[in-house]
Structures are given as structure tokens and as C-alpha cells.
């Protein structure tokens, strides 16, 4: 044909089937069509596995299911980490309570200067002075034979020729003489107790008797403070000796016959004092190691947690709650301590002694609690909450506004701004490290010290933010139309 294409052969055109008819048959002559092929050779789709293959597939599926059940899933692993972190954080909170008591015990029992510093103010406490005055006055009067003195006066009057009626009147002066002696001795004792000499004697006696306090709390040592009949007592015999000397120097010669007296003031009494001794001994042994162990356990709990910032907040709040509980226990135990004093003991003086002994423990509770609250607040403020983000943004804008104002007046940061911007995180870590070193090397920091350290840290971070200036990278200059210049 003119088109250059050939028409199909007539016989090929005659063999075509309509489009909607059955497909054309293929194959060589003499072979049956595919639909009439033997069953073994007939194709029915994908090749089916044999019985042995099906068994292997089932075995593989069973093993895969076993591995999946043995391997922790992501959710299960997350729950395990969270549970472990919660256990460690709770343990750290409980140990923080014991740590404060352990440090206090170690200071009171093992540090003489600390103990003397604790009890020295009691010498000027009015309740303690009144209690010592009453106890020493009773001890002195118990050694004076008032009836013997009255008889001596009556015999002396009779020898001087005093009428028998007058001598008989003298025998009836036992009551007034006893009252007068009581006033004399009480006044003398109170004058001594109110003097600086008593403060010196009190400090010296407590320093010398510190080993005996160790005995009272740990069962070791001996001296002016002792443990007898489930009572912790303080021997005030040296005070009686000084009062006797003052009575003699005041003209009361009969006081010279007073023997050496060893009388005690009960500091604490309880039928469970033996158990208390064991607890104090245990706390003294662990001493300052327990706080270190507590910090390590808390750090392990925070590190194990999936969300470490939230774990840090939880750990800090747990320690704060433990300190609050400690303060409540100290207040409740004060009433228990006063209720177990022997009859006749001065509760006011005993309360003053208790308050003095736990004064530094209360200070430690407040400082640790303040540190925990500040830590929890800091961990919250670095989080993604709206309040935290808003506060950080406001502070950053405020510091930036101050920097822009000063920069507009000619103050330039120079290379300092670029250096701070480059090492900003390292500088922040250094600020926190310095604050931690100052806090942990401070001798008995108070809550005020902890607060001021926190304020100093905030000020340092503000300075860091002020000095943080990214180096200028230049600006893109768009040329004016027809200027012929190109952007840099």
C-alpha cells in the first residue's frame, strides 16, 4: 500500500476472537489446551507450600511470638524505668530525714567544740538559772543541821547566863532560822548563777564532761554527765562547792562543814533510753557518710527516670516533705520528752535544754528544706510549661532591653559577647558548680545562706544573659534598581 504498511494476512484475520470472547489458545499442535491440562501441571496461582514447609513456618511464628513476649516492649521498658526511679527517689527522701539526724548526732557526740557552742547559751537562760538555783539551794540546806544550830544557840545562851525562858524561846526559832537560811543560801546561789563566773564554770564543766555525754548516748566514757536508772543526768556538785565557798566568805561559818556533794539535774528520762542509746550509736557510726549516700541514690533515681527534669522536681519535693515531717517530729517529741521527766523537775529548764540541743538540727532541717524547694522551683522553671516559658521570655527580654540601651550609649561587648555566646552552656554549668562547692563547703549553712546563694546564682545567670551577644554575621544588602551592584 502507499502508506508503506502491510495489511494482515486473511487467515490471521479470520482467527481473531471478539474482544469480549475467550482468550486465544496457545501452545503447539497436538497439546491440550491449558484448561484441559493435567492437574499436576495446571497453574492455580502462587505456589503452595508443602506440609513440611507449613510446619517450619508455624515453628518460626511460634519462636517469633516467644521472642516478642520475652523482649520488653517500649511501653513496658518505660514503666520499669519509672518504677525504679520512683523507688530510688522515695528511698532518698527517707534517707534525707535520717541524714539530718545522723549529722546532728555526729556533731553533738563527736565534736566537743560544737557541743560546747550548743550548750553555752544555757548558762544565761533564766529558766536554767532558776532550776540550778533551786537544786543547789536544796542540796546545801540538806547538808545543814538547822536543829543542831538552834541547839548550839540555846546552849550558848544558857552558858552566858541568859534566863531559861529566853533559852526556851531560842529553841522555838527553828522555823524562822530555816526560812532565813533558805533566803540566804538562795540569794547567794542566785548571785553566783547570774555571774560571769557561773558561765565560765558552766562552759568548763560541759567541755570536761563531753566524754560523759558520749557515754550517755553511746555507752562509752564517763564524767559529769552520766546515764543511771534510764536517766541522763548532769552533776552540779562543782557549783555546790563554789556556793559553799561564797557562804563561808560571807560569814556563814557553818557552811564550811558542808561535805563534797554530788547532786544531779535530770536532763532526760525514759524507760526506752537503752534503745535510744543504740540508735544514737548507729547514727554516730554512719555520721557524715549518709548524706553522700543519699545524694547518690537521688542522682541515680533522676538518671534512671525517663523524664529526668520531672524526676528532679519529684526528688526535691520529696526531700522537702521529709524535712517538713522532721520538723513536725521534733515538735511532737518535745512534748514526749517533757512528759517523761521525773516529778519535781523543771519543765521550763528541760524545755530550754531540749531547744538548745536541737537548735542546730532545726537549722539543718530549714536549710535542707530551702535547698530542696529552690531546686524544685529551678527544675520547674527550665521546663516547657507556659508559666516557665513566659518567665524565661520576660527575663530574657528585660536583660536584652538593658543591653540594647547600654549599647546605644556606646558600650560595646567586643569579643566577650561572642565568647559568652559560644560557651553559654558551659558557663551556666560552671555557675552551678561554684554554687554547689560554696554550699557544701560552708560550715553549717542556714536557710538564709541557701537563699542568698540562690540569689547569687540568679544574678550570675542574668549577667551571663547580658553578656550573651551573637557575633554579627552581616546583613543582606539589596541593591537599588539600576545601581549595578550585587548583594554580598
Residue 325 in any domain: the answer is no
Q: Report d(CA 444, CA 447) in Å as an integer.
A: 10
Residue 383: how many other CB atoms lie within 10 Å: 14
In eight-state DSSP terms, residue 366 is H
Q: Report d(CA 354, CA 339) in Å as an integer.
A: 13
Confidence at 42, pLDDT banded by 50, 70, 90 = very low
The most confident of the ranges 197-211, 371-385, 467-481 is 371-385
Evaluate whether 35 touches 24 at the Cβ level (below 8 Å): no
Give 115-146 pLDDT, tens digit per residue.
Answer: 888 888 888 888 888 888 888 888 777 777 76
Stretch 268-281: mean pLDDT: 62
Residue 272 in any domain: the answer is no
Angle between helices 74-110 and 289-304 (to 10 degrees): 170
> Which residues partner with 265 through β-bridges?
234
Evaluate whether 216 touches 232 at the Cβ level (below 8 Å): yes
Residue 421 in any domain: the answer is yes
Which cell is 381 given? 522553671
Give 440-472 pLDDT, tens digit per residue.
Answer: 888 888 899 999 999 999 999 999 988 887 665
Q: Report d(CA 374, CA 317) in Å as an integer.
A: 10
4 has pLDDT over 70:
no
pLDDT of 459: 93
Residue 419 in any domain: the answer is yes
Q: In terms of pLDDT, which residue wins out, 178 or 291?
A: 291
Evaluate whether 193 touches 349 at the Cβ level (below 8 Å): no
Give 69-107 pLDDT, tens digit per residue.
Answer: 655 555 556 788 888 899 999 999 999 998 988 888 777
Q: Report d(CA 143, CA 67) in Å as an integer.
A: 90
Q: What angle do CA 462, 394, 433 make, to 5 degrees?
A: 30
Q: What is the mean pLDDT of the chain?
A: 75
In eight-state DSSP terms, residue 15 is T
Give 19-40 pLDDT, tens digit per residue.
Answer: 444 444 444 444 445 444 444 4
Give 415-431 pLDDT, tens digit per residue.
Answer: 888 888 889 999 999 99
Stretch 217-230: mean pLDDT: 53
Which cell is 254 given? 557553818
Mean pLDDT lowest among 189-198, 222-231, 272-281, 340-349: 222-231
Q: Which helix (H) or strand (E) is 225 found in, with range? A: strand 225-228
Q: Quick one: which of 296, 454, 356 has its CA closest to 116?
A: 356
Residue keyed to cell 506440609:
51
14 has pLDDT over 50:
no
Q: Report d(CA 95, CA 49) in Å as an integer.
A: 64
Residue 233: how many other CB atoms lie within 10 Å: 21
Range of the domain at 455: 384-467
Q: φ and ψ at 225, to 5 degrees?
A: -105, 125
Q: What angle do CA 438, 442, 448 make, to 5 degrees?
A: 90
Q: Report d(CA 107, CA 284) in Å as an integer.
A: 9
Which cell is 85 given? 526511679
Residue 462 in any domain: the answer is yes
Stretch 138-164: mean pLDDT: 70
- Structurally, the chain folds into a number of domains equal to 1
> Which residues partner with 228 through β-bridges?
231
Residue 147 in any domain: the answer is no
Mean pLDDT lowest among 188-192, 221-225, 412-416, 475-479: 475-479
Residue 443 in any domain: the answer is yes
| Helices and strands (H, E) in the chain, number of each type | 20, 3
Mean pLDDT lowest among 119-128, 223-232, 260-269, 341-350: 223-232
Angle between helices 210-218 and 273-286 (to 10 degrees): 110
Q: Quick one: which of 304, 337, 292 has its CA closest to 98?
A: 292
Q: φ and ψ at 263, to 5 degrees?
A: -110, 150
Determine whether 209 is exposed, middle or buried from the number of CB atoms within 10 Å of its CB (0-12, 13-18, 19+).
buried
Q: Report d(CA 232, CA 274) in Å as an integer.
A: 11
pLDDT of 64: 76
Alpha helices in 73-227 (DSSP H): 74-110, 112-119, 126-142, 146-159, 164-171, 174-193, 196-208, 210-218
Q: In what order do the strands lie in the sheet with 264-269?
A: 225-228, 231-235, 264-269
Residue 37 in any domain: the answer is no
pLDDT of 153: 67
pLDDT of 348: 87
The SS3 of residue 234 is strand
Amino acid at each position: 500500500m502507499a502508506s508503506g504498511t502491510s495489511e494482515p494476512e486473511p487467515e490471521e484475520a479470520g482467527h481473531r476472537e471478539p474482544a469480549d470472547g475467550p482468550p486465544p489458545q496457545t501452545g503447539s499442535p497436538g497439546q491440550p489446551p491449558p484448561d484441559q491440562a493435567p492437574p499436576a501441571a495446571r497453574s492455580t496461582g502462587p505456589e503452595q507450600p508443602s506440609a513440611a514447609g507449613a510446619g517450619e513456618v508455624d515453628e518460626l511464628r511460634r519462636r517469633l511470638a516467644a521472642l516478642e513476649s520475652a523482649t520488653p516492649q517500649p511501653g513496658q521498658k518505660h514503666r520499669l524505668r519509672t518504677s525504679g526511679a520512683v523507688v530510688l527517689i522515695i528511698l532518698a527522701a527517707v534517707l534525707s530525714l535520717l541524714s539530718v539526724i545522723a549529722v546532728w548526732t555526729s556533731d553533738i557526740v563527736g565534736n566537743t567544740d560544737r557541743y560546747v557552742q550548743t550548750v553555752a547559751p544555757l548558762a544565761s537562760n533564766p529558766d536554767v538559772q532558776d532550776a540550778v538555783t533551786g537544786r543547789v539551794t536544796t542540796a546545801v540546806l540538806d547538808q545543814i543541821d538547822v536543829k543542831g544550830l538552834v541547839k548550839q544557840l540555846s546552849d550558848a545562851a544558857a552558858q552566858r547566863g541568859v534566863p531559861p525562858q529566853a533559852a526556851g524561846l531560842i529553841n522555838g526559832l527553828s522555823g524562822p532560822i530555816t526560812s532565813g537560811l533558805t533566803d540566804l543560801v538562795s540569794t547567794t546561789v542566785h548571785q553566783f548563777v547570774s555571774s560571769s563566773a557561773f558561765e565560765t564554770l558552766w562552759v568548763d564543766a560541759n567541755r570536761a564532761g563531753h566524754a560523759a555525754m558520749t557515754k550517755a548516748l553511746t555507752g562509752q566514757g564517763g564524767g559529769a554527765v552520766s546515764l543511771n536508772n534510764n536517766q541522763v543526768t548532769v552533776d552540779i556538785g562543782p557549783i555546790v562547792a563554789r556556793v559553799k565557798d561564797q557562804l563561808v566568805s560571807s560569814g556563814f561559818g557553818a557552811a564550811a562543814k558542808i561535805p563534797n556533794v554530788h547532786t544531779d539535774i535530770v536532763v532526760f528520762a525514759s524507760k526506752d533510753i537503752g534503745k535510744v542509746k543504740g540508735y544514737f550509736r548507729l547514727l554516730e557510726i554512719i555520721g557524715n557518710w549518709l548524706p553522700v549516700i543519699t545524694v547518690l541514690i537521688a542522682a541515680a533515681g533522676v538518671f534512671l527516670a525517663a523524664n529526668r527534669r520531672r524526676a528532679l522536681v519529684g526528688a526535691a519535693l520529696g526531700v522537702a516533705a521529709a524535712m517538713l515531717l522532721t520538723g513536725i517530729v521534733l515538735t511532737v517529741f518535745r512534748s514526749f520528752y517533757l512528759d517523761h521527766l521525773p516529778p519535781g523537775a523543771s519543765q521550763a529548764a528541760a524545755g530550754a535544754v531540749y531547744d538548745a540541743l536541737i537548735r542546730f538540727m532545726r537549722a539543718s532541717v530549714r536549710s535542707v528544706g530551702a535547698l530542696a524547694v529552690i531546686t524544685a522551683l529551678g527544675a520547674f522553671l527550665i521546663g516547657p510549661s507556659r508559666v516557665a516559658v513566659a518567665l524565661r521570655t520576660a527575663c530574657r527580654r528585660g536583660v536584652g532591653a538593658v543591653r540594647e540601651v547600654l549599647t546605644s550609649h556606646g558600650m560595646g561587648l567586643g569579643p566577650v559577647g561572642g565568647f559568652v555566646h559560644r560557651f553559654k552552656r558551659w558557663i551556666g554549668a560552671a555557675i552551678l558548680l561554684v554554687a554547689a562547692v560554696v554550699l557544701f563547703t560552708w560550715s553549717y549553712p542556714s536557710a538564709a545562706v541557701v537563699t542568698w546563694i540562690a540569689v547569687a546564682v540568679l544574678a550570675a545567670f542574668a549577667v551571663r544573659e547580658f553578656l550573651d551577644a551573637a557575633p554579627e554575621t552581616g546583613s543582606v544588602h539589596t541593591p537599588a534598581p539600576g545601581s549595578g551592584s550585587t548583594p554580598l
